[in-house]
């Protein structure tokens, strides 16, 4: 299902720096390391060296992939080895399943461009987005999309709606992150912006340029993954 298109961002790939990051700033050791590392902990340590308004932070997948408040954010199945709920096989779950009602808006978690829109037996209707530093994100089981291949996106742009296409026992979003072609656990990246802001707050009483709305969509993890009972 194709929803109405959003207006495409009036910009270029170069201005988003999706392809050019690390070439125009090749003298930055931190930027070079961000391009090569695939470990979340290393990425978190690297960005702690950046100022709160650093453009590098703005390019990373760093917020929730669904437009939900913190109180409604639930993970029904985490990244890792599990017994498939339908196929009944032990296999790697290559992403994060976020419980949400059908029709809940799904958003891009970082600036990028739409590589493609497809449909598979397992993932159902999905969107593939490419970002800076070798990051790619996938959003599956969608009921509809509102972007097209090649479209440029900003963080927070709506790209589709939660559904249960493909193999699904109920409506949810399957969210996958790849870094330089390798799968990584998306969970901690959902809170990366919030973590960075908290680090900044610990050093300075008030953070300039951080909107209340942005903080409300980047919740603080409580130390354990919230798992729904469904």
Tell me if 227 is assigned to some domain. no
User: Confidence band (pLDDT; 50, 70, 90) for 47?
Assistant: confident
Tell me if 1 is assigned to some domain. no
Domains: count for the chain: 1
Euclidean distance between CA atoms 95 and 142, whole angstroms: 15
Q: Which of 168, 80, 186 is nearest to 126 (CA)?
A: 168
| Distance (Å) of CA 187 to CA 15, 24, 29, 98, 230 | 28, 30, 26, 10, 19
Instruction: Count other Cβ atoms within 10 Å, centred on residue 116.
Output: 13
**pLDDT, tens digit, for every residue of 147-165?**
999 999 999 999 999 999 9
User: Confidence band (pLDDT; 50, 70, 90) for 118?
Assistant: very high
What integer pLDDT is reported at residue 86 of this predicted model? 59
Q: Which of 114, 129, 152 is nearest to 13 (CA)?
A: 152
**pLDDT, tens digit, for every residue of 204-213?**
554 444 443 4
Q: What is the CATH number of the domain that holds 179?
A: 2.70.70.10
Q: Are 124 and 168 in contact (CB under 8 A)?
A: yes
User: Exposed/middle/buried for 206, CB within 10 Å: 0-12, 13-18, 19+?
Assistant: exposed
Question: How high does pLDDT run on average in the chain?
Answer: 76
User: Confidence band (pLDDT; 50, 70, 90) for 13?
Assistant: low
Q: Are 160 and 3 in contact (CB under 8 A)?
A: yes
Range of weakest confidence among 67-71, 75-79, 87-91: 87-91
Query: Domain residues for 198?
Result: 13-216
Tell me if 205 is assigned to some domain. yes
Over residues 68-76, the mean pLDDT reads 81
**pLDDT, tens digit, for every residue of 132-144?**
999 999 999 999 9
């Amino acid at each position: 299902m194709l929803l109405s298109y959003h207006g495409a961002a009036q910009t270029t790939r170069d201005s988003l720096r999706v392809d050019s990051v690390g070439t125009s700033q090749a003298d930055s050791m931190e930027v070079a390391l961000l391009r090569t590392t695939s470990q979340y902990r290393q990425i978190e340590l690297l960005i702690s060296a950046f100022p709160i308004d650093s453009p590098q932070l703005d390019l990373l997948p760093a917020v929730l992939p669904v437009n939900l408040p913190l109180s409604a954010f639930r993970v029904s199945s985490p990244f890792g080895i599990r017994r498939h709920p339908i196929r009944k096989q032990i296999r790697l779950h290559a992403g994060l399943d976020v419980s949400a009602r059908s029709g809940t808006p799904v958003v891009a978690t970082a600036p990028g461009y739409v590589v493609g829109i497809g449909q598979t037996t397992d993932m159902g209707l999905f969107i593939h987005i490419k970002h800076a530093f070798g990051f790619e994100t996938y959003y599956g089981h969608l009921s509809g999309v509102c972007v097209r291949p090649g479209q440029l996106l900003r963080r927070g742009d709506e790209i589709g709606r939660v559904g249960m296409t493909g193999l699904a026992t109920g409506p949810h979003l399957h969210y996958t992150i790849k870094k330089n072609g390798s799968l990584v656990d998306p969970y901690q990246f959902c809170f990366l912006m919030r973590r960075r802001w908290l680090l900044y707050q610990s050093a300075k009483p008030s953070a300039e340029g951080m909107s209340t709305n942005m903080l409300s969509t980047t919740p603080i993890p409580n130390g354990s993954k919230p798992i729904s009972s469904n």
